[in-house]
Amino acid sequence: MAFGRLERTKGSEPMSDINVTPLVDVMLVLLVIFIITAPLLASSIRLDLPKTDAAKPGDPPKFVTVVVDKAGQVFFNDKPVTQAQLTSELQGAAKLNPDTEVQLRADTTVPYGRVVEVMGEAQKAGLNRIGFVADPAAAAAPVPAASQ
């Protein structure tokens, strides 16, 4: 028995594993920062471009209005036209700009077949962008039921 000597407990051993969680967090934050700032850096080049009459900004897409009223009469840009005149007007609009949009307005009582005829004329002329124009529904306007 040795006097004055106490048993010593072994101290904690050095940790041999690296905790990568903080490293991953920092790398993800840096990645997000680079993703956000990279497009801003690509377009930040300041230039003084030369001036010329040939370089004109692109015209906004144009549109023509085709209206079919209750009687089935067709109007091209608010002017009454026959079927042959409609065809020539649509072909002329397609020659000027093939991306011209046709805004089609038809009365609710117009038969579906008449609307499809007008759409067919526009597509034959080469105008494939057709938009249907409608009024927003009233808040409390009930739709009348069809009589039997």
Q: Which amino acid is at 13?
A: E
Which residues, listed in sequence order, are joined to residue 10 by a DSSP beta bridge?
none
Q: Which two tokens stand for residue 132?
A: 């249907």
Percent of the chain with pLDDT over 90: 34
Q: Is residue 140 part of a domain?
A: no
Q: Which two tokens stand for residue 133?
A: 């124009």
Q: Is residue 71 part of a domain?
A: yes
Q: How does pLDDT run across 87-99, given as a tens digit for each residue?
A: 999 999 999 888 8
Under the banding of pLDDT at 50, 70 and 90, the label for residue 61 is low
44: pLDDT strictly greater than 80: no
- Whichever domain contains 127, its CATH number is 3.30.420.270
Q: How does pLDDT run across 82-127, given as a tens digit for each residue?
A: 999 999 999 999 998 888 899 999 988 889 899 999 999 999 999 9
Distance from C-alpha of 119 to C-alpha of 121, rounded to nearest angstrom: 5
Domain that holds residue 80: 63-132
139: pLDDT strictly greater than 60: no
Q: Could you give the strand order of the β-sheet that contains 63-68, starting from the edge strand earlier in sequence?
A: 79-81, 74-76, 63-68, 101-106, 129-132
User: What is the rounded average pLDDT of the residues 33-61?
Assistant: 68
140: pLDDT strictly greater than 60: no
- Give the pLDDT of residue 12: 79
* Number of domain units in the chain: 1
